[in-house]
Amino acid sequence: MLQVKELCKYFGGIKAVDGCSFNVERGTITALIGPNGAGKTTAFNCISRTAQPTSGEVWLDGERIDQLRPHKITRRGLSRTFQISRNLADMTVLENVICQSQIGGWRDLLKPAMSPEEIDKAMHLLDFLGISRIAHEDGSNLSYGQKKLMDLAALLMSDPKIILLDEPAGGVNPTLLEEIVGHIRKLNEQGMTILIVEHNMNLIMRLSHRIVVMAQGRVIAEGTPAEIRENPAVLDAYLGGTLEDAA
Ligand SMILES: Nc1ncnc2c1ncn2[C@@H]1O[C@H](COP(=O)(O)OP(=O)(O)OP(=O)(O)O)[C@@H](O)[C@H]1O
């Protein structure tokens, strides 16, 4: 479904992503892992076009998307979350969900009012994620976990077919983490294809069908969780420890 081909992103002399190639198969949960600085977030940024790749190609369902603007990529069915919530100032959770959704690009932020259809859809999503009770609270007063759920709702507003989640477990307490894992699993069971960058190895090993491992901007291994756990190149990249130690 998603094909990343020889993707490169250089910042001056820093080769953050350096010839990275991998595929995400439809209907799977695929994890992109690797030690700090491996290039995972930069690869995510290039795929969603938050950053412009230096070279390489990204294809979604047979269409090349690496030269499209971010909101056009969203319209093609690919949406992403960010490591840090992009919670908009002085807005309720409901307003955040509607205005953050990238369907129309920045034009949406300028809309004077939210349509009844948008409100219905956002409330339905907040309900699906179990946070409709906080719909009218200030978005900036939420816990990390609640912000992740709010971001997930915003992401789902565009009816994506593939979602990219950047550290969905980051800073989230264990109880809410299990809820987030449940939602990711449920979305996947409903047919959503999911690509996740995450440091929590326990979560990755439990959730993923396939794992792609990056180090120094390149893919060094791909396989099932069981294969990756035993792969010597992966263990080397994590300085000889176990993957669980690295989490
Ligand atoms: N805007 C930038 N300017 C210069 N260097 C950058 C920039 N963004 C990332 N880098 C560098 O590119 C490399 C890859 O960074 P990136 O954040 O993509 O890695 P990562 O695998 O996501 O790391 P982490 O797991 O710590 O989030 C690092 O060496 C980083 O310092």
> From atom 10 of ligand 1, which residue's Cα is the shortest distance away?
16
Nearest ligand 1 atom, CA 199:
25
pLDDT tens track for 37-59: 999 999 999 999 989 999 999 99
Measured on CA atoms in the order 72, 73, 77, 82, is the torsion positive or negative? Answer: negative
In degrees, rounded to 5, the angle at the alpha carbon of residue 217 between the alpha carbons of residues 212 and 222 is: 15
| Ligand 1 close to Cβ of residue 30 (< 6 A) | no
Centre of ligand 1 to C-alpha 14, Å, is 9
Of the candidates 217, 194, 184, 204, the residue with the CA atom closest to the CA atom of residue 247? 204
**In this predicted complex, what is the ipTM?**
0.96
- Going from the Cα of 217 to the center of ligand 1, the distance in angstroms, rounded, reads 9
Name, of 5-14, 106-115, 125-134, the range with top average pLDDT. Answer: 5-14
Q: Which fold would CATH assign to domain 2-86+161-246?
A: Rossmann fold (3.40.50)
pLDDT value for 192: 96
Cα–Cα nearest to 25, from 134, 125, 161:
161
Nearest CA to ligand 1 atom 11: 16
> Are the C-beta atoms of residues 208 and 31 closer than 8 Å to each other?
yes
Domain residues of the chain, as ranges? Answer: 2-86+161-246
Residue nearest to atom 2 of ligand 1 (CA): 11
CB of 34 closer than 6 angstroms to any ligand 1 atom: yes
Q: Which residues contact 57 (CB under 8 A, 6 or more apart)?
A: 3, 4, 5, 6, 7, 64, 66
Tens of pLDDT, residue by residue over 136-159, are: 888 777 888 888 888 889 889 889
State if residue 16 touches ligand 1 by the CB under 6 angstroms criterion: yes
Q: Is the CB of 40 under 6 A from ligand 1?
A: yes
Range with the lowest mean pLDDT among 10-14, 22-26, 83-87, 98-102?
Answer: 83-87
Average pLDDT over residues 15-24: 96
Provide the percentage of residues in the chain whose pLDDT is more than 70.
88
Backbone phi, psi, residue 29, to 5°: -105, 115
Pick from 42, 82, 199, 219 the residue to mutate for probing ligand 1's pocket: most ligand atoms within 8 Å of its CB. 42
Contact between 123 and 94 under an 8 Å Cβ cutoff? The reply is yes
